[in-house]
Copies of this chain bind each other. A is one copy, B any other.
Amino acid sequence: MNFDFSDAQKMLKTQARDFLKSACPTTVPRRILDGNEPYAAELWKGIVDLEFTGISIPEQYGGIGYGYLELCCVAEELGRAVAPVPFSSSVYLATEAILAAGSEEQKKKYLPQLAAGKLIGTFALAEGAKVPTAKNQETKLEGGKVTGEKLPVPDGDVADFAIVVASSSRGPSLAIVDLKGSGVKREAVATIDPTRSHARVHFSGAPGELLGVEGKGWELKESIFDRAAVLYAMEQLGGSDACLAMSVDYAKGRYAFGRPIGSFQAIKHKLADMYIKNELARANCYYGAWALQSGAKELPVAAAGARISATQAYHFASKENIQTHGGIGFTWEHDCHLFYRRSKLLSLVLGSLHSWKDRLITHLEKQAEGSAASAAA
Contact = CB atoms under 8 A, between A and B. Distances in A.
Interface of A: 264-266, 269
A266 B265 CA distance: 6
Nearest to A266: B265
Nearest to A264: B265
Contacts of A269: 265-266
Contacts of A265: 264-266, 269
5 contacts: A264-B265, A265-B265, A265-B266, A265-B269, A266-B269
Nearest to A265: B265
Nearest to A267: B265
A200 to B, nearest CB: 32
Contacts of A264: 265
Closest 5 CB pairs of A and B: A265-B265, A265-B266, A264-B265, A266-B269, A265-B269
A169 to B, nearest CB: 39
A261 to B, nearest CB: 11
Contacts of A266: 265, 269
A80 to B, nearest CB: 30
A265 B269 CA distance: 9
A258 to B, nearest CB: 16
A354 to B, nearest CB: 17
A269 B265 CA distance: 9
A262 to B, nearest CB: 12
A264 B267 CA distance: 12
A199 to B, nearest CB: 36
A322 to B, nearest CB: 18
A264 B268 CA distance: 12
A251 to B, nearest CB: 13
A257 to B, nearest CB: 12
A265 B265 CA distance: 5
A137 to B, nearest CB: 29
A361 to B, nearest CB: 17
A31 to B, nearest CB: 39
A268 B54 CA distance: 54
Nearest to A269: B266
The residue in A264, A265, A269 that gathers the most chain B C-beta atoms within 10 A of its C-beta is A265
A293 B269 CA distance: 45
A301 B264 CA distance: 41
